[in-house]
Structure 1
Amino acid sequence: MPRGIAPVRRSICEVSCAYAERASRLSDAVVWTRQAVRPGEREVVAVLPDGCMDLLWTEGRILVAGPDTRVYRPGPGAGGPWAGVRFFPGTAPALLRVPAHTLRDRRVDLTDLLPGASTRRAIERVDAAPDPASALEDLALRLAADAGPADPLPRAVVTSLTAGRSVTATAASVGLGSRQLHRRSLAAFGYGPKTLGRILRLQRALALARTGVSFAETAALAGFADQPHLAREARELAGTSLTGLVAR
């Protein structure tokens, strides 16, 4: 996973879900898989906000997971198997030719975004592939090639916010005013830089806490005012306690 900026693990399974991920051939993206729920097995998967968008495959469908502002729990009929490509924050909209804010907190069929015979054939190829995850990765690589050179702004914004800089300082570092940065962030990330900063900060905290760092030290290192502030953010963004998140 790219240098600690994007989350190490987006999906938290409350019952073992045979989840695996690997680095993608697409720059700073991740390929992940989740096996189908077995008959009689009850599984609940919580997907935490992380600033990313995903290309998702399940048999017969390819979907786009937009940027989340709150924890996402798949509904009935989402047992899988699943494969996905998780893009570096802010990079997917250029590949999919859609502003991120139009997909915020949504899962949308790729055929609704990129209609046409080529998209339908792409779904058929992934369905028929012996390794759907690799075939989905191939599709992501083709979309990236068609999109051309990447805009450097999203990476610069993520790097600045991850370093703990304020929105004002981040705007100055990329040569934009605060209002311009907000507009550009809506298109790239799905929400403004303040929300993105909160999400990235919580992800930093989770990464620290899962290595055994105390919650008080985690709060200080990740840029929270104090431990109660960290606990409130975990509740608001992840829908559960920090203790529960780390335990999973």
Structure 2
Amino acid sequence: MSPVYAERASRLAGAVVWTRGPEGGGAGIVLPDGCMDLLWTEGRLLVAGPDTRAYRSARGPCVGVRFFPGTAPGLLGVPAHELRDRRVELGDLWSGAEVRRLIERVDAAVDPVVAIEELALRLAGDAPPSDPVLRAVVASLAAGRSVSATAESVGLSARQLHRLALGAFGYGPKTLARILRMQRALALARSGVSFAETAVLAGFADQAHLARDVRALTGQSLSGLVRS
């Protein structure tokens, strides 16, 4: 396991495998990103639901799979809105005996990173194909298109899109769009783009609007996040 935080693309399409080793085991801040995670830590399998605010993670080594937005509910068999802003034991969602077998398998693995990825791949293999509309919604909102334009592009009414989003992402499309816009802004700012230009490119009214939204979603300043 890596001594600090590291991530790589998973063999599961759109997913990311990540590790946090003992030397990177202090509590950290997890920012909203529209995703859900399956994670293993010290003999426990947990599901991290979709966040609407920053989450302070527990201490200790951990490995996980971060699923592409909207795909985890179909693999886990639970609507995303039921897990919003929560970390839940997998045993609370599935049969306790089945989860104990899975935990034993990961615990016994030479490399828990490989084991947790294999588990995610198995879940995907057992689940029905993901709805292509979900990926189209994410792509549209991530590109900065409005919720109404996104709904029209996938052939849904605003009400239908909202209902779909609750089950797949855990919150409505406006919240998802706001979170994806913040992530887009952070990527720009961390690449060296000035905050003023970042605000324009990411779709904010101005730099002050960007600063307020980042603070509201993360509890931290934009400059602080970029430095960290």
Give how far 1:79 is off: 2.2
Correspondences of 1:92-241 after superposition (within 5 Å): 92-241=72-221
Give how far 1:59 is off: 1.6
Q: TM-score by structure 1 length?
A: 0.89
Between 61-70 and 117-126, report the one with greater CA deviation: 117-126
Q: Which residue of 2 aligns with 1:21?
A: 7
Q: TM-score by structure 2 length?
A: 0.96
C-alpha contact (below 8 Å) 2:21/2:62 kept by paired residues: yes
Residues of 2 paired with 1:186 and 1:30: CA distance? Answer: 23
Q: 1:67 aligns with which of 50, 62, 67?
A: 50
The list of structure 1 runs, each at least 4 consecutive aligned residues, that deviate by more than 3 angstroms after superposition, is none
- Identity across matched positions, percent: 73
Give how far 1:149 is off: 1.1
Q: Which residue of 1 aligns with 2:32?
A: 49
Counterpart amino acid of residue 20 in structure 1: A
C-alpha contact (below 8 Å) 2:27/2:59 kept by paired residues: no
Q: Which residue of 2 aligns with 1:81?
A: 61
More helix by share: 2
Counterpart amino acid of residue 26 in structure 1: L
Residues of 2 paired with 1:108 and 1:36: CA distance? Answer: 22
Equivalent pairs counted in the alignment come to: 226
Name stretches of at least 5 consecutive residues in structure 2 with no aligned partner: none
Counterpart amino acid of residue 228 in structure 1: A
Residues of 2 paired with 1:182 and 1:148: CA distance? Answer: 22
**CA RMSD, aligned part only?**
1.3
C-alpha contact (below 8 Å) 2:48/2:86 kept by paired residues: yes
Counterpart amino acid of residue 31 in structure 1: V
Give how far 1:117 is off: 2.6
Q: Which residue of 2 aligns with 1:33?
A: 19
Residues of 2 paired with 1:151 and 1:232: CA distance? Answer: 34
Residues of 2 paired with 1:52 and 1:213: CA distance? Answer: 25
Name stretches of at least 5 consecutive residues in structure 1 with no aligned partner: 1-16
Residues of 2 paired with 1:106 and 1:247: CA distance? Answer: 27
SS in structure 2 of the partner of residue 21 of structure 1: strand
Give how far 1:71 is off: 0.3
Residues of 2 paired with 1:36 and 1:187: CA distance? Answer: 35
C-alpha contact (below 8 Å) 1:37/1:79 kept by paired residues: no
> Could you give the per-residue CA deviations for residues 46-99 of structure 1, whole angstroms, max 9, x where no partner exists?
00000000001012100000000000013xxx3221000000000000000000
Counterpart amino acid of residue 199 in structure 1: I
Q: Which residue of 2 aligns with 1:10?
A: none
